[in-house]
Structure 1
Amino acid sequence: MLDKELQLIDKYTNHYKTVNLKVSESSVGWHLDHSLKVINLVNDTIKKSKESEFKKEFSGLSLLTFTFGFFPRGKARSPKRVLPPEVILKEDIENQLKIAKEHLKSFEALDDNQFFTHPLFKQLNKRQTQKFLKLHTNHHLKIIKEILR
């Protein structure tokens, strides 16, 4: 599912301390750690969900985001549970990457209406969650590429 993105995360891990304040106040490591925390938390959540409890709701925000395929920078704030720690260690990023790879191996086996509830986008079923994870991860990878220029 996110094979290409996880390969890039692995590639950028060596640059985890790099900062470019013209692009972001946060380091490459912050963006990597945050992206992996989101992937892992969402996967933990969707696996525990019950397909029978999924309620399809319209969200104009998710329609716009998913249609245009990007997140505007600096508009949303991350929940505390997916914020990186003050001190980011390369080993922590590497461990989270291993967990993410394991999570994603079993993602396809999920039922179509197992879901993840996003604070702004509401309940996202398996297909929508997959798209969200791809968009979110690519959003941060794009920032990382700009930091490293």
Structure 2
Amino acid sequence: MSSKLNQQLAEVTSFIKKGDQLNLKVSDKGTYWHLDHSLQVLNGISETLTNSNPEDYQPKFSLPKFIIMNTGFIPRGKGRAPKQTIPEGGISEEKLLSDLDKIKNATKDLNNLAENKNFKHPLFGYLNRMDTIKFMAIHTQHHLKIMRDIVK
């Protein structure tokens, strides 16, 4: 796992401890929604990457991928979360902390996977191991920025 993602997970922990906060001027979802979504994404991508077949990797140019991967910026309100990463029901501090522990375990050995282990992003297409880890940090950063604005 990247050191950036490690730092981000420390910040995630701090947001969990602050409790669920809402600021409708920033987002119609509260901080716990953003945390739960981010953790679901990290978990799902980690699992997919770990279990992927390197022979399935098919790199292809994608303009949105090129822009986002090179700027590290995801515009707000433009993308839609896949159904399986949309939080449902009550989200508690205990659930988030438990999910965070799972993520830390799931991501700790990602750097040791084969280079062409992959994740197929719905918009970007296939990402190899290195690009997948980079995307995980970019996506997490996107939601951390939203949460920082919520709690201002």
2:77 to 74, 78, 81: 74
Cα distance in structure 2, aligned partners of 1:115 and 1:61: 18
The count of aligned residue pairs is 149
Equivalent residue, structure 2, for 1:148: 151
Cα distance in structure 1, aligned partners of 2:141 and 2:51: 25
Q: Does residue 45 of the first structure (1) align with residue 44 of the second (2)?
A: no
**Identity percentage over the alignment?**
37
1:34 to 18, 34, 37: 37
Equivalent residue, structure 2, for 1:125: 128
Shift of 1:16: 3.5
Cα distance in structure 1, aligned partners of 2:65 and 2:129: 14
The alignment partner of 1:6 has SS state of: helix
Q: Which piece of structure 1 moves more, 9-18 or 94-103?
A: 9-18
**Alignment TM-score, normalising by the size of structure 2:** 0.95
Shift of 1:67: 1.4
Please give the per-residue CA displacement for 1:50-80, whole angstroms capped at 9, x wherever unaligned.
1111111111110011111110000011011
Structure 1 moving runs of 4+ over 2 Å: none
The letter of the residue matching 1:82 is T
- Can you give the 5+ residue segments of structure 2 that lack an aligned partner in the other structure? none
